[in-house]
Chain A
Amino acid sequence: MKIHSQTEKLEFVRTFISEAAQQFGFDEDSVQNIVLAVDEACTNIIKHSYEYASNKDIDIRIMTDDHRFEIIITHQGKPFDPKSVEIPDMPAYLASYRKGGLGMYIMRAMMDEIEYKKLPNNITEVHLIKYLRNKISR
């Protein structure tokens, strides 16, 4: 699916991801975790990569392979490498009431792998990967 870079579009993204993750066979908790991670990734792109410009594109694709469920989010905003964000020590972090980086922390907690790819033509891909244990064919 493709959306414009507007936080109002996050609802459509969550519905799209939720339906696909359920169809793949994830339980309800995992579906909600994946949905939250994708929401956080898209919010980061809207906020940091596109700096709230509302007419830019975000493309979201899903690729599956056996037990692997992968969401690929593509944009052409400012490159942003999730791995470059230091994972905060949460007790100290919260004690100081900082909130920046919280979305990234949650993304990492919810997914098994996060990959970042910088492609030609200023294209950036964020790959969010979750593995399904005990997959039951539907």
Chain B
Amino acid sequence: MFDVTISDNGEILLSGRFDASQVEKAKSIFNKIEKSSTVDFKDLEYISSAGLGVLLMTQKRLNESGQRLKLINMNKHIWDVFHYAGFNNIFEIE
């Protein structure tokens, strides 16, 4: 189970488990983002490299126009994965 929605204040909310089976669903939302946005991980339980790839490509596209993603409320394991992969160097993580 995975879901991605945009809240009324423009935050992107992730929930469930973001693996390779959910890439197209996630892209349908992330590909529409055109300005700096916050991604809330509060209800995200799991992410694999497939999910990291969607975030990375979105960050790349936004950076080209001086925009960026900010990632908030990660659980410990997801935070660890981001640090293992060095993603903490290219995303602002709160």
- B side interface size, CB within 8 A: 24
Q: Interface SS of chain A: helix, strand, loop or mixed?
A: helix
Answer yes or no: B19 CB below 8 A from chain A CBs.
yes
Interface residues in A1-20 by Cβ distance below 8 A to B read 6-8, 10-11, 14
**Contact call A29/B19, Cβ cutoff below 8 A:** no
**Out of A90, A91, A99, A110, which one reaches B53, CB within 8 Å?**
A99
A residues in contact with B19, CB < 8 Å: 7, 10-11, 39, 43
Partner of A43, one of B17, B48, B57, B77: B48
Q: Flag if B60 contacts A106 (CB, 8 Å).
A: no
State whether A46 and B48 are in contact (beta carbons under 8 Å apart), knowing that A29-B80, A94-B90, A97-B56 are contacts in the complex.
no
In contact, B53 and A97 (Cβ under 8 angstroms): no
With a CB–CB cut-off of 8 A, which chain B residues contact A25?
none
Report if A102-B52 is in contact (Cβ < 8 Å); known contacts: A10-B20, A47-B20, A97-B57.
yes
B7-15, B31-39, B65-73, B81-89 - the one binding chain A: B81-89
Tell me if A103 is interfacial: C-beta within 8 Å of chain B.
Answer: yes
**Chain A hits for B50, CB < 8 A:** 7, 43, 103
Q: Is A71 an interface residue (CB 8 A)?
A: no
- Sample 26 A-B pairs with CB under 8 A, ordered by A number: A7-B19, A7-B20, A14-B17, A29-B77, A32-B77, A36-B46, A39-B20, A43-B19, A43-B48, A43-B49, A43-B50, A47-B20, A90-B86, A91-B86, A93-B86, A94-B87, A97-B56, A97-B57, A97-B59, A97-B90, A99-B53, A99-B56, A102-B49, A102-B85, A103-B50, A106-B81
Q: List chain A positions with a Cβ less than 8 A from chain B.
A: 6-8, 10-11, 14, 29, 32, 36, 39-40, 43, 46-47, 90-91, 93-95, 97, 99, 102-103, 105-106, 109-110
**Contacts A36-B81, A97-B57, A99-B57 supplied; 6 other A-B pairs, CB < 8 Å:** A10-B21, A14-B17, A29-B77, A91-B89, A94-B89, A97-B90
Measuring CB to CB, which residues of chain B are less than 8 angstroms from any residue of chain A?
17, 19-21, 46, 48-50, 52-53, 56-57, 59-60, 76-77, 80-81, 84-87, 89-90
